[in-house]
Amino acid sequence: MLQPPPAEPGMREEEVDTPALLLDLDAFEHNLDAMAALLAPTGTKLRAHAKTHKSPVIALRQMARGAVGQCVQKVAEAEALAWGGVPDILVSNEVIAPRKLARLAALARIAKVAVCADTEAGIARIEQAAEAAGLRLTVLVEIDVGAVRCGVPPGPPAVALAERIAASPHLIFGGLQSYHGKAQHRRAPEERAALIAGAAEDTRRTVEQCRQRGLACAIVGGAGTGTFAHEAGSGVWTEIQAGSYIFMDADYARNAAPPPFRQSLFVLAQTMSVQAGRAVLDAGHKALPLDSGFPLVEGRPGAAYVSASDEHGTLTGEGLPALGEKVRLIPGHCDPTVDRYDWYVGVRGGRVECLWPVAARGGMA
Amino acid sequence: MLQPPPAEPGMREEEVDTPALLLDLDAFEHNLDAMAALLAPTGTKLRAHAKTHKSPVIALRQMARGAVGQCVQKVAEAEALAWGGVPDILVSNEVIAPRKLARLAALARIAKVAVCADTEAGIARIEQAAEAAGLRLTVLVEIDVGAVRCGVPPGPPAVALAERIAASPHLIFGGLQSYHGKAQHRRAPEERAALIAGAAEDTRRTVEQCRQRGLACAIVGGAGTGTFAHEAGSGVWTEIQAGSYIFMDADYARNAAPPPFRQSLFVLAQTMSVQAGRAVLDAGHKALPLDSGFPLVEGRPGAAYVSASDEHGTLTGEGLPALGEKVRLIPGHCDPTVDRYDWYVGVRGGRVECLWPVAARGGMA
């Protein structure tokens, strides 16, 4: 069941029902503009990652500032975007299941879509789906440049897959997917720089080896909010896939030399119990996933969110909120937090300005 | 947007789209029967906790085996149950927001509802909502017996709140809420027993002090899957609020002398990439929240789920699944895992038997 929106346009922020996913529109728009300004001189394009926001409304706002399209991780996310008017979508991930590939091929009739592969068997499945749908699908080879997750090793193994794609009658070789996820949250800036320098060398070599076989990499995609300046400045990547920059979170704020963006995403919570030395909020780890740690309390430097159960979060320290008072929390990790909510509540100047659906909420398939 | 069901009745389990929330119906029904059999000789009633399952279908199956009603943590959960035919619901938690209290009062016209309080101000707000709705609401006093979350101290502070409720024209004093959440997952059985013995003493004393003021505790509610045998055997509690027993999870399995129930809940995932030494599944921490650690891999004792990102889970070890193969994962923690999905896929004998909606999925308000 879809949850009803926790607010209506025109309400004051303190009237919003809790827990709610707040989007500070001034900070959000600042971030959109800042990324566009940072990338413009590099000549590298933005293909923002929709795994973060899951919203065609936000995708189209990114594209209005120059983004060439969107990335997604799941076919369900691609559907929500394409159905919401997003014209160019890359699944920056492998898709193996025939049902999912059939859905992706169906989307290729209303949007430009591409997908990644890292095995011969995976390529064969995409070829089958494209043939069955009577169209051609664009496929990128994902290379592992240090994340140790999906991706074939750079160099000859990647080139072999590129050739296999190019030789498939219903596939188009689209380039390389080269994302170093583990580099994004390394705390020291020099460590992030070194990891991306290594990834750049691996990627450059693979692009060159493809070129020697007559295979042009139209897209070389990768990068995230923690490292994008390195990829954009390398001359190797053509598209930056940052997602979190629009929202930010407590984990990115812990990086030394953190990314130059403002915190725009909050969970609004209410104090539902005040007992000796603690205030208990109505937002626990169902409202604020813990994979990157506890949230921070906005505007109350002496108060700390120190424990979470399913539906409760406990604050201790100085300047605790009174019973019934509402506080803005900065999520530990923006992506999974957004995915807990059905609605963004857009706020500006203390008032609710808009409600946007988290259209691909729960879209894991 | 609601996600479409990942299966249809009659499909084979390996045809179910992934990630999916599987319910092994034989194990689930065993657990329903086992709890009923364990509680019958104690005379203690079961008021199962719906924060775990969020489903009126499951609630009614518990009540068909003798449960007197359901607990919930949120008004949105109470709504999903009442609208789905559940006749008796206790919000085992504080509710402070006037909008939420108005919704709860509205439910009191179609179901028996009760709610908890742990402050004078909270009681005053419930009284206002009941008066505005023109009815009487039943309120329990929550006491803190060691969880250090919500709850007033046992003894005189609790009795004072009980008297305040009894003196409120639109409220009925319903008894005590006494839940020691932290005791459920203590690994050593003697530690769990000792914590509940202390909670029993605090609760017994408070019940007696209420009685001395002429206030009968019709309900003394508490207990969870990790400790319910102690509460049920104490003669203090009248209602057991266990939730997880129907599903179980990897965290309860780590308790020494774990609860006597079978694992019935799984996340079905598919291998989407196989590279040297690892198999990557399409289920990361958006599909399997990490608050209680990584999931276990069912039926593959040599394989371990060793890292999760938003949409990927990496297996290493022996006997890894091949590309495209599907595996059952045992979630780290059942409650938040269920809340990630729109549908239960009920399976028996390798076939999909039913689809049940997770009706209160995302119901945090």
A3 touching B (Cβ < 8 Å): yes
Alpha-carbon torsion angle B163, B168, B174, B177, nearest 10: -70
Q: Say if the Cβ atoms of B73 and A6 lie within 8 Å.
A: no
pTM above 0.90, yes or no: yes
pLDDT in tens, A154-209: 999 999 999 999 999 999 999 999 999 999 999 999 999 999 999 999 999 999 99
Collect all residues of chain A within an 8 Å Cβ-Cβ radius of residue B100: 17
Reported in sequence order, the residue ranges of chain A that DSSP labels E, i.e. its strands, are 20-24, 45-49, 69-72, 88-94, 112-117, 137-142, 171-177, 219-222, 239-240, 265-275, 278-281, 296-297, 303-308, 313-317, 326-330, 343-348, 351-357
Q: How far is CA B199 from CA B12, B145, B184, B211, in A?
A: 47, 5, 13, 18
> Does the distance separating the beta carbons of A323 and B151 come in below 8 Å?
no
Nearest CB among B17, B96, B289 relative to A323 is that of: B96
- Are A148 and B359 a contacting pair at CB < 8 A? no
**What's the pLDDT tens digit per position in A216-256?**
999 999 999 999 999 999 999 999 999 999 999 999 999 99
- CB-CB neighbors (< 8 A) of B291 in chain A: 285, 289-290, 308
Contacting B residues, span 35-54, partner chain A, CB-CB under 8 Å: 51
What stretches in chain B show pLDDT beneath 50?
Answer: none
pLDDT digits (tens, 9 = 90+) for A75-132: 999 999 999 999 999 999 999 999 999 999 999 999 999 999 999 999 999 999 999 9
Distance of residue A174 Cα from the nearest chain B Cα, in angstroms: 19
**B69–chain A nearest CA distance, Å:** 20
Residue range A7-30: average pLDDT? 98
Instruction: Give the B window 235-294 contacts with A, CB below 8 Å.
Output: 270-275, 278, 280, 282-283, 285-287, 289-291
User: Hey, is the C-beta of A181 within 8 angstroms of any chain B C-beta?
Assistant: yes
CB atoms within 10 A of CB B153: 15
Q: Assess A79–B contact: CB distance below 8 Å, yes or no.
A: no
Q: Tens digit of pLDDT for each residue in B284-307? A: 999 999 999 999 999 999 999 999
Nearest CA in chain A to B101: A17
- Residues with Cβ < 8 Å from A103, sequence gap 6 or more? A75, A79
Structure tokens at B253: 């399995």
Q: Which residues of B touch A290 (CB under 8 A)?
A: 289-291
Measured between alpha carbons, how far is residue A236 from residues A197, A198, A208, A218 in Å?
A: 10, 12, 10, 12
User: What percent of chain A stands above pLDDT 70?
Assistant: 100
Contact A312 B149 (CB under 8 A): yes
Nearest to B310 among A121, A125, A335 (CB): A335
Contacts of B323 in chain A (CB under 8 A): 96, 119, 121-122
- Local structure of A54: helix, strand or coil: coil
Contacts of A347 (CB under 8 A, 6+ apart): A13, A16, A22, A23, A24, A25, A353
For residue B125, list chain A residues with Cβ-Cβ distance below 8 A.
324
Q: Is A360 on the interface with B (CB under 8 A)?
A: yes
CB contact B148 to A (< 8 Å): yes
Question: Smallest CA–CA separation between A82 and chain B, in Å?
Answer: 14
Residues 183-242 of A with CB under 8 A from B: none
Q: CB B318: neighbour CB atoms within 10 A? A: 9
- The pLDDT score that the predictor gives to residue B2 is 87
- From the list B76, B286, B323, the residue facing A364 with the nearest CB is B286
A317 with A303: CB under 8 angstroms? yes
Considering only CB atoms, B150 lies closest to which of A51, A118, A280, namely A280
- Taking 90 as the threshold, does the pLDDT of residue A346 lie above it? yes
Query: B181: which chain A residues are within 8 Å (Cβ-Cβ)?
Result: 309
Residue of B nearest to A73 (CA): B311
Interface test with B, best of A92, A116, A144, A273 (most B CBs within 10 A): A273
- Which of B92, B81, B144 lies closest to B114 in space, CA to CA? B92
Smallest CA–CA separation between A19 and chain B, in Å? 6
Q: State whether A323 and B144 contact (CB < 8 Å).
A: no
Which of A6, A80, A365 lies at the smallest CB-CB distance from B365?
A6
Pairing of strands A278-281, A265-275: antiparallel
Please report, rounded to a whole number, the percentage of residues in chain A having pLDDT higher than 90.
99
Comparing alpha-carbon positions, the chain B residue that sits nearest to A121 is: B323
Amino acid at the residue B80: A
B77 touching chain A per CB within 8 A: no
Indicate yes or no: CB of B314 within 8 angstroms of CB of A149: yes
- Cα A297 off chain centre by: 23
Q: Any chain A CB within 8 A of the CB of B79?
A: no
Instruction: Determine the Cα–Cα distance for residues B68 and B112; give it in Å rounded to an integer.
Output: 11
The tokens for A173 are 């070789």
Q: Is A339 on the interface with B (CB under 8 A)?
A: yes
All residues of chain B having their beta carbon less than 8 Å from the beta carbon of residue A148 are 278, 314
Angstrom distance (rounded) from CA B105 to CA B110: 10
Q: Say yes or no for a CB contact (<8 Å) between B3 and A289.
A: no
Looking at the complex, report in whole angstroms how far the Cα of residue B309 sits from the nearest Cα belonging to chain A: 9
As a whole number of angstroms, the distance between CA B128 and CA B102 comes to 9
Q: Please, which residues 87-126 of chain A have a Cβ atom closer than 8 Å to chain B?
A: 93-97, 99-100, 118-119, 121-122, 125
Does residue A2 surpass a pLDDT of 90? no
Q: Rounded to an integer, what distance in angstroms lies between the CA atom of residue B245 and that of residue B255?
A: 13
The residue in chain A having the minimum alpha-carbon distance to the alpha carbon of residue B357 is A1
Chain B touched by A322 (CB under 8 Å)? no
